[in-house]
Amino acid sequence: MSLPADTIYPVILPVPEIDRQLKGREKVKSLSRYARLALEQSCAKSGLRLEDLPKDDQGVPLPVDGVYWSLSHKSAIVGGVAATLPVGLDLETVRPVNQALLARIADDPEWRLAGNREAASFFRFWTAKEAVLKAVGKGMAGLSRCRIVAIETSTRMILTYDNLPWPVEHRWFGDHVAAMAVQQDTVVWSLSS
């Protein structure tokens, strides 16, 4: 069976236990190396090439010859994705949340969509918004322009950025959540882990 041309192949990899114990710059280098490995695997699955990974002066990944890319890493898990469309990937570890953060990431109408303000919902919202902001090339400064407008299923929601729709897919890996965003409703996500 062949997959449609609009299939995107994000790759999520576990960080080896020995590298999880690293501290400071060594840990950051290690996580970055594993995230780049995930990106290389995404490129290979997609038939895309990325020789360099340029960023602008704000640290935003720049496309190379029409190939967009996004990386994310946490202490125990990393991810990378390449696509021919602007794409964003974010990973988080679900953990207890300070209640003050709830209001920062979403307003009351957005929280009503979730039906609760639990940690899992918070991190689902957080990763979805971060994935969209990565795809549009904005940092957290764009957070107020990114809104959750519909929760369709336990793995799919719709956000808007400057009133343009952004479908977001979620996948769960134990106590980690991954969010993937691209501004095309017909994309098929073929996630490898």
Question: Could you report the per-residue pLDDT of 1-55, keeping only the tens digit for each?
Answer: 444 458 899 999 999 999 999 999 999 999 999 999 999 999 999 999 999 999 9
Q: What is the pLDDT of residue 22?
A: 95
Query: How far is 72 from 78, CA to CA, in rounded Å?
Result: 6
Domain boundaries, the chain: 7-189
Query: How far is 30 from 17, CA to CA, in rounded Å?
Result: 12
Query: Residue 118 to residues 24, 114, 122: CA-CA distances in angstroms?
Result: 30, 9, 6
pLDDT digit string (tens) for 91-132?
999 999 988 888 889 999 999 999 999 999 999 999 999 999
> What CATH class is the domain 7-189?
alpha beta
**pTM of the shown model:** 0.92
